[in-house]
Amino acid sequence: MTDSSSDLPELWTHEPHIHLEFKPGDSVAAIDTNATPGFRGSKSDAPALQEERNARYAELQEMLYASSRAGDHRRILLVLQGMDTAGKGGIVKHVVGSANPQGIQYASFGKPTEEELAHDFLWRIEKKLPAAGHIGVFDRSHYEDVLIVRVHDLVPPDVWGGRYELINDFEKRLVDDGTTIVKVAMFVSLDEQKKRLSERLDRPDKYWKYNPADIDERLLWPKYQEAYQAMLERTSTDYAPWHVIPCDRKWYSRLAILELLIEALKGLDLAWPPADFDVEAEKVRLAQA
Amino acid sequence: MTDSSSDLPELWTHEPHIHLEFKPGDSVAAIDTNATPGFRGSKSDAPALQEERNARYAELQEMLYASSRAGDHRRILLVLQGMDTAGKGGIVKHVVGSANPQGIQYASFGKPTEEELAHDFLWRIEKKLPAAGHIGVFDRSHYEDVLIVRVHDLVPPDVWGGRYELINDFEKRLVDDGTTIVKVAMFVSLDEQKKRLSERLDRPDKYWKYNPADIDERLLWPKYQEAYQAMLERTSTDYAPWHVIPCDRKWYSRLAILELLIEALKGLDLAWPPADFDVEAEKVRLAQA
């Protein structure tokens, strides 16, 4: 009783990874952040579809968790990268969060602490890797070490330059050990970013999400664009490809990443683990207990 | 702009803690596990109310998280204890899980590992305490060390006997440091437990939740009852009282614990943190960026 049949909703023309996977030659500068690749429907279709697919995702997540209790070692790691306001928080809340928190391991990676800086850049990452049966979500990740670190010259070029290969080797090890890595790079246009930052300044319940440094980063967009381009080119591997998500329409980016997670889970051919006890004998014991 | 006004739904006669808090003289043997103390409505009222209160809880959780970003040190710790099938998992999934996983720290405490046993019984607990701004949920907890440990004589009586005071001291320290502890003891009748175990044996998608040892524990119910009684009597303090939750009706136990969490959050008088930057100046900077 495995669960790998395609159940892709008709509103998708193909499985979203076909549209969204980064391909050699793709250019960050040319991303249409307002597009909805592969999706036939419109915004009005989104709420019902999201609810339906959230439930599907939660069911598969429970199967993954159950399998680990029967010795299955596999796990999922969702890596979220993107400029400020791209919607990483919304993905955590509205997509990842629709599953049981028992099986979710959330980690965010901000400015490294002194202790973290006293170690190799992957040290803090290793500590937050999901355990068997879990879905880990990285809100920013080891890729900060070739993005903000590169843009701000926080380490010399030969140091960050060496990290692409280190990251590939690291991810290879995780994949070989049973981790399915889903990497999504989330892009919004500068106009849409301005709108979203502006909303944070207009609403007192959003002030806490606003950081004046966001504007400084925004002004560095050309340098970030180069850093994202290099990241996508150098770390999109066959075992852990990047997906490029247009994020001007939040409803689309949520549906797309949700579908990528479902694809990853379905790729595991999950099944409810068989009983490791004699079911009929236990029924008798229970009746007497 | 704080948020502490009472918004208790009319379906509750009083705030649920008034009905559910353990009081000296209360007897575990006398708990009516099928009751719905304080609730005027019925099962048919539950879905809509649960949805509405989940949203309220999620909003308060976000405020707590936001406050911590502005330096507020406070946090919530929900402690779930209860016999097998009492519904701890459902509380994690349907109540706690309705908030953003970013602000939730889930920890379960099963059989201690060798490393854990090589330390004081609170060592593994300390490591899982929620950080500022978070809601921690303990699926089983340090109370296992005066429940299963006591029932099975896993340590000598003078060792487990000393733990009640150690736990009280430990919790006092947490409370003094800004943790609101919500302790719930979940009780089902033996009949209802039999039904729920039986369902796990009838449904292949539930086999993974079934453990033959559950029947052995079931047969020890009289000894567990004593252990629960002692736990409630000796560790229900004014700073961290126990709540006794009748759990034969899942819809009730979920609504009740959800309301206890909301009460705890409201007790913090949360507010959206004020801007720590000049809002108007940032608007100008953004317009030009």
Chain segment B102-124, per-residue pLDDT in tens: 999 999 999 999 999 999 999 99
Q: pLDDT for A136-162, tens place per residue?
A: 999 999 999 999 999 999 999 999 999
Within 8 A of A194 by CB-CB distance, chain B residues are: 286, 289
| Residue stretches of chain B with pLDDT short of 50 | 1-2, 4
Q: For residue B30, give every residue at least 6 positions away whose Cβ sits within 8 Å of its Cβ, in sequence order, or none.
A: none
Give the residue from B78, B205, B206, B270 with the most A CB atoms within 10 Å of its CB, the best one to mutate.
Answer: B205
Say whether pLDDT at A5 is over 70.
no
Query: How many Cα atoms occupy the beta-carbon half-sphere of B174 within 13 Å?
Result: 26
Superfamily in which the B16-288 domain is placed by CATH = P-loop containing nucleotide triphosphate hydrolases (3.40.50.300)
Q: CB–CB of B194 and A289 under 8 A?
A: yes
Position of tokens 């391991």? A105
Query: A157-176 vs A221-235: helix axis angle to the nearest 10?
Result: 40
Cα A232 to Cα B60: distance, rounded to the nearest angstrom: 38
Among A61, A72, A100, pick the best mutation site for testing chain B contact (most B Cβ within 10 A): A100
pLDDT tens track for A195-228: 999 999 999 999 999 999 999 999 999 999 999 9
- Count how many Cα atoms sit within 13 Å of the Cα of residue A234 in the half-sphere of its side chain: 18
**Percent of chain A beyond pLDDT 70?**
98
Partner-chain contact B100 A108, CB within 8 Å:
no
Residues of A with CB under 8 A from a CB of B: 1, 66, 69-70, 89, 92-93, 96-97, 99-102, 104, 106, 108, 137, 139, 194, 197-198, 201, 204-205, 207-210, 212, 215, 218-219, 272-275, 277, 279, 282-283, 285-286, 289
**A6 has pLDDT over 80:** no
- Which H/E stretch holds residue A105? strand A104-108
Kindly determine whether residue A212 and residue B273, on different chains, have CB atoms separated by under 8 Å.
no
Report domain extents, chain A.
16-288
Nearest to B207 among A96, A274, A285 (CB): A274
> Residues A244, A20: contact at Cβ < 8 Å?
yes
The predicted-structure confidence for A108-124, as pLDDT tens digits, reads as follows 999 999 999 999 999 99
Measure CB to CB from residue B66 to each of A96, A208, A282 and give the nearest one: A208
Interface touch B201/A286, C-beta < 8 Å? yes
